[in-house]
Amino acid sequence: MTPLDASAFVRRSCLDQGFALVGITGPESPEHAPFLDAWLDEGRHGTMSYMRDHAEIRQDPARFLEGVRSIVMVADQYASRADEPDAEAPGRIARYARGR
């Protein structure tokens, strides 16, 4: 299997599992890493301390796992408007809490 075939297989498998988006990249340091440093230094992360705690991994993903060659990212979406409960339903459940 070629790397291109493997990427296509991984993408298709993730989409088949129901994820909305799939991305594959290498472990190289992202070109926007200096912007993250500045953003953190300005305190823009607020109470999200994990952003600063794990900044070095975001700046150099290869630190996360020795020998890593690829990183697969998946994303899902909250429920759609079609998932809205009936108007007569007692109470209200937040869309994000309804999931799929």
Query: What residues does each domain of the chain span?
Result: 3-77
pLDDT tens per residue, the chain (100 residues)?
Answer: 898 999 999 999 999 999 999 999 999 998 999 999 999 999 999 999 999 998 988 889 899 899 999 999 999 987 666 666 666 666 777 777 776 5
pTM above 0.75, yes or no: no
pLDDT score for 58? 85
pLDDT score for 91? 72
pLDDT score for 98? 73
Between CA 21 and CA 95 the distance in angstroms is 19
Contact (CB, 8 A) for 73 and 91: no
The C-alpha torsion from 99 through 61 and 42 to 77, rounded to 10°, is -10
Place of tokens 């759609």: 80
Joined tokens for residue 72: 């697969």
Between CA 74 and CA 62 the distance in angstroms is 18
